[in-house]
Structure 1
């Protein structure tokens, strides 16, 4: 059977790795190829459990995409930014505040009132695609790649997310499929693929924002899958309260927990604070292109502790960040309010640099 000829895509040339000696976070690595056997899953579950209850971040390797396939995905990811003119981008901009959904473009400067300091507007652009890539129309330049995008989204959900949440379920001493069953790959959820580009800023803007491109925050969903890329900019808050860099590992994934899974685990798993800052001097002037998969529980899942978990029964529920008991929102409700309010709502300024707001009765913090 002849192989299908893939449509031409302009190659994206990433930045060279940083030359500086940066203080990197010490993150665990799981080998997803081992998740094919019960013995392998039992071994990986311990690593994933310990990583997600402490740092909230880990790496994953052997995820099923070759370096060449990953390179092509990054080439495609750059297409909605470099191959689409601004007037066409406006046609496909998402109605974010009204819908509580990022689908389509989030254009630069949308977060003008965001937790960015001294009047500096954001220089972040992203394009978001639903699990059902045909749910919305796409810019002309992206349309030839929709079959590959659909296959990639399904791979992220079924071949990466599902094995990971099986491990996390085992870490809670629950049946392996218990979290797979609430991460269905169909219209019952609102997981999405994101292509994201950070553009360099002026020296004056960097000084006004103290080099912070996106303030410290926790993700809103269950699991975030980031395809590692070479521009050093992502930092996480370590358990001891220090910002540390996340190191690039070629063709690896960076996995982190979001609020929704912290809520369901009763605080056992941690949605770790992370931020994006100006790259080190050797990489300044380069854009930062990212590929993400943001996983959400099914829309009707209520974000309250899984009390049937033996681990949660033993450890108890840590309520500091959790919704008030009896008032837990569904995944759909929490997703919509977090997305619609982000960068557009009034926040209470904190003396320590931590701004706060309450959404669906949940305390949300933004870290300077």
Structure 2
């Protein structure tokens, strides 16, 4: 990360942590510093493999970003929301419906949540090559730091994790690294995301769900932990459990692409966002992500050469010949999400077709 004199921006003060007795998911903590040696990677690969076939989420610590650098990135993450006028935001809205791209702003009330209630979530997305798109004036002086942050996530976090995913399938270490190139065509991106409090009427109509249960369509989601409790995962026993905040840690989960690559072994875990506990209501919730996707031209087929998959078996969502590329899958998922009120089954599950595959939402 840059160490020169940095542009002055307002400091974002996060909400205090919750003291509510929440039922938290019991997630594995991965010490990424161990990934620097072959012996350490072999140990971590087992832990990651076990996490991926059970919870589907895990924490990462000792990743190399200091608490001071972490706080600075959250200061930067708030700029697109607190320092940019509404008319400028509207001029930089992403072409989500037509292009299937999140590059730019997604403004509030774009997604339908439930019972006619639309979202109160705003986010701003930047390609890993931050110079490909126009950005808000307030963000331009910060682009060198954002680009450095993207590179840090890609090379110091994503690539080491991809090696662990490969080792867990007994594949060559670089199997997944080789299809996640920083300079290739694709939409791996940094996301700054802010959740705003809703009215009591909206909470009642949506049963307190802010973002309905879903899987990510990327290969790996890197979420920088923040203190407002709201993220929940659907545990293997069918119960929703909260994700605990760990200071300067990262929350990792696999998405659809990794599930496809692993023949269904590494599940894209269902997760949602709900109203925070009582002692955190009224606060905004600022989130910082790196969504990693394979290169656009990569076909999302299982690595059937994996000895692990040959022993375990492969669950296919489509025949290999019909498999979409990453570009097809991301555009298909992105363009239709939250655009219609879908019919629900008795258990609240909604279904829609994307590239011939049934995609489920849990509401």
- Range class of TM-score, shorter chain: over 0.9
Equivalent positions of 1:212-223 (< 5 A) are 212-223=209-220
Give the Cα–Cα distance (whole angstroms) in 1 for the partners of residues 308 and 235 of structure 2.
24
- Please tell me the root mean square deviation across aligned C-alpha atoms, in Å: 0.9
Q: Which residue of 2 aligns with 1:246?
A: 243
Distance 1:345 1:20 in 2: 35
Alpha-carbon separation, structure 2, partners of 1:93 and 1:32:
36
Q: Hey, what does 2:55 align to over in structure 1?
A: 55
Among 252, 255, 277, the alignment partner of 1:255 is: 252
Q: Secondary structure at the match of 2:226?
A: coil
Give 2:197's aligned residue: 200
What is the aligned length?
A: 361
Supply the distance in 2 between the matched residues of 1:325 and 1:30 (Cα, whole angstroms).
Answer: 33
Shift of 1:89: 0.3
On the 8 A contact 1:348/1:357 being kept in 2, the answer is no
1:192-234 CA deviation, whole Å, 9 max, x = no partner?
Answer: 1000000000111111111000000000010000000000000
Quote the offset at 1:188 in angstroms: 2.6
Residues in 2 aligned to 1:212 and 1:37: alpha-carbon distance in whole angstroms: 43
Counterpart in 1 of 2:188? 191
**Residues in 2 aligned to 1:156 and 1:11: alpha-carbon distance in whole angstroms:** 22
Partners of 1:183 and 1:53 lie apart in 2 by 22
Matched, 1:339 2:328: no
* Correspondence 1:123 to 2:120: yes
Secondary structure of the 1:177 match is: coil
Return the offset for 1:38: 0.4
Question: 1:169-184 maps to which residues of 2 (within 5 A)?
Answer: 169-184=166-181
Contact 2:114–2:341 under 8 Å retained in 1: no
The offset of 1:187, in angstroms, is 2.9
1:233 to 223, 226, 230: 230
The alignment's TM-score, normalised by the length of structure 2, stands at 0.98
Unaligned runs of 5+ in 1: none
Instruction: Identify the residue that residue 266 of structure 2 maps to in structure 1.
Output: 269
After TM superposition, the structure 1 = structure 2 runs for residues 10-49 of structure 1, keeping only pairs within 5 Å, are 10-49=10-49
TM-score, structure 1 length as denominator?
Answer: 0.97
**Unaligned residue ranges in structure 2 (runs of 5+):** none
Structure 2 distance, partners of 1:202, 1:305, is 45
Checking the alignment, whether the CA contact within 8 Å between 1:226 and 1:254 is kept in structure 2 is yes
The answer (yes or no) to whether the contact 1:127–1:194 under 8 Å persists in 2 is yes
Runs of 4+ in 1 over 4 A off after TM superposition: none
Residue 136 of structure 1, aligned match among 120, 133, 136: 133
- How far off is 1:325 after superposition? 4.1
Change in 2 beyond 3 A, CA 1:329/1:346: farther
Equivalents in 1 of 2:312, 2:36: separation in Å? 29
